[in-house]
Amino acid sequence: MSASKENNLVQAYIELNKFCQSGDYEKALKATGKILQIAPNEQKAFHCKVVCFIQLHNFKEALAILCNPKNAAHAADLHFEKAYAQYRLNCPKDALQTVDNAPELTSALKELRAQILYRLEQYQDCYNLYRDLVKNTTDEYEDERKANMAAVVANLAAVNPSTDLPQFDETTYELAYNTGSTLAMRGKHNEALPVLKRAEQACSESVLEDGGTEEEAKEEVAIIRVQQAYCLQMMGKEKEAASIYQNVLKDKPADQALVAIASNNLVVINRDGNVFDSRKRMKAATADGLEHKLNSRQRSAITYNQAILAIYSNQPDFCKQCCVKLVREYPGQESRAALVEACSLAKEGKSSQAVALLLKHGGNLTFAAVQVLLSQGDRKGAVKLLEESEFKYRPGVIGLLCTLLSADGELEKASKLFHDVYEHYKDDKEVSITINYNSQSFLLIL
């Protein structure tokens, strides 16, 4: 390299360092271009170029130059940058593969891997990784890691409320919020509320102490207040919950996911009482871009509520679309989708189709099919379904069958039913005594 080129290269690096120090990444990016024009093999400049794109939130361009075959040698060791760009471009599976293909899992890659696992809803693996990070890392980000770990625990509680999970000291408002969320997910709403109140107060004080405004404090505590409203709603205090949701939404929070959750929960409170308002709320709960900001549990609930709202709005075709989406995108939702679609069919007067759909799925949906038949006054059809079902000898079903048979004047058939039940349970002493007692009571009434 000539002396003049070498001098230009040094000057370009001085400029690059100055712009990076001042956080002017637009100019820093131009400086990397100058360096690579002078010396295309400068690995450090290439790395800086990628970092500049990331700092400027131009993740597509960062990933493009990392994946360009011409840059293979320069990009070979930039596993973190590539995985981070993929993660920010909502490609968490690709990001995880990039991290796992790295020859060494550095601390930075571990932190990123934990975030990716959280996005992929692999909560147990995510928790295990955060537990390792919290235990073996000491730096200024300790509280942040613990808060992230507590958020993972809250989601584990949502998936399995009875699972054994760790507890956290409420040393920060983030930890207090996630502790309250965990209690809420476990169904302990009374216990969660005071914890969330403390989190709200601590959060507001923290923002104000850092020089923030009242408006900024209100924005920051919005997510905590929505969680409080959820607890109140689950406790049956719907007016208080609705008031909080409405006040939060009135402030027009920037968090799109928060708006979606509050709007969805207001739809639940409205039921069929204010369909116009519910449709407006549902529009906010299903806005574009939310698929990457809500977890599958939340998205599934919103789709389910969309289907219910479609029934109230007399939109059977849209209800069916929502049910199809529920089955296609959220495994394990087949029965719920069938139940909602059957309700829509029954409302249209298509009772036979509703019953056929419910019986196709069987199980507890048999009872829904019975209900549809009874709503149409078809007692004989309902009796036939119950008599042929796997639930025929359950005490509650026996009582219902007797009521229906008696209503049709088939008292002998009802009496024979008790005899059949007795024969079915005669080897079970405890159940036989109960059935015998019920049989005597029934005959006495007759």
| Closest listed residue to residue 266, CA positions, set 309, 296, 295 | 309
- Whether 128 maps to a domain, the answer reads no
Q: Which helix (H) or strand (E) holds 3?
A: helix 3-22
- Is 209 found in the same domain as 288? no
- Whether 28 maps to a domain, the answer reads no
Last residue of a domain, one of 357, 377, 397: 377
- pLDDT for 408: 80
Q: Compute the distance between CA of residue 211 and CA of residue 206 in angstroms, rounded to an integer.
A: 9
- Is 282 found in the same domain as 211? no
Q: How many domains does the chain have?
A: 3
- Whether 343 maps to a domain, the answer reads yes
- Is 211 found in the same domain as 150? yes
- Is 332 found in the same domain as 427? no
Structure tokens that stand for 78 in this block: 């930039």
- pLDDT for 428: 65
- pLDDT for 1: 53
- pLDDT for 442: 36
- Whether 141 maps to a domain, the answer reads yes
Phi-psi region of 259 (alpha: psi -120 to 50; beta: other; left: phi over 0): alpha
Q: Compute the distance between CA of residue 423 and CA of residue 426 in angstroms, rounded to an integer.
A: 5
- Is 353 found in the same domain as 446? no
Q: Compute the distance between CA of residue 68 and CA of residue 79 in angstroms, rounded to an integer.
A: 14
- Is 353 found in the same domain as 439? no
- Is 275 found in the same domain as 224? no
Structure tokens that stand for 380 in this block: 């004989």
- Is 291 found in the same domain as 353? yes
Q: Which helix (H) or strand (E) holds 95?
A: helix 92-101
- Is 404 found in the same domain as 424? yes
- Whether 45 maps to a domain, the answer reads no
Q: Compute the distance between CA of residue 344 and CA of residue 299 in angstroms, rounded to an integer.
A: 21
- pLDDT for 444: 32
- pLDDT for 231: 96
- Whether 16 maps to a domain, the answer reads no
- Is 321 found in the same domain as 220? no
- Whether 125 maps to a domain, the answer reads no
- Whether 120 maps to a domain, the answer reads no
- pLDDT for 430: 52
CATH number at residue 227: 1.25.40
Contact 251, 214 (CB under 8 A): no
Last residue of a domain, one of 348, 377, 406: 377
Q: pLDDT tens digits for 129-178?
A: 999 999 998 888 888 999 999 999 999 999 988 888 888 888 899 999 99
- pLDDT for 392: 85
- pLDDT for 429: 52
Last residue of a domain, one of 254, 287, 317: 254
- pLDDT for 58: 97
- Segments in the chain below pLDDT 50: 432-446
- Is 192 found in the same domain as 141? yes
- Is 395 found in the same domain as 372? no
Residue range(s) defining the domain that contains residue 395: 386-446
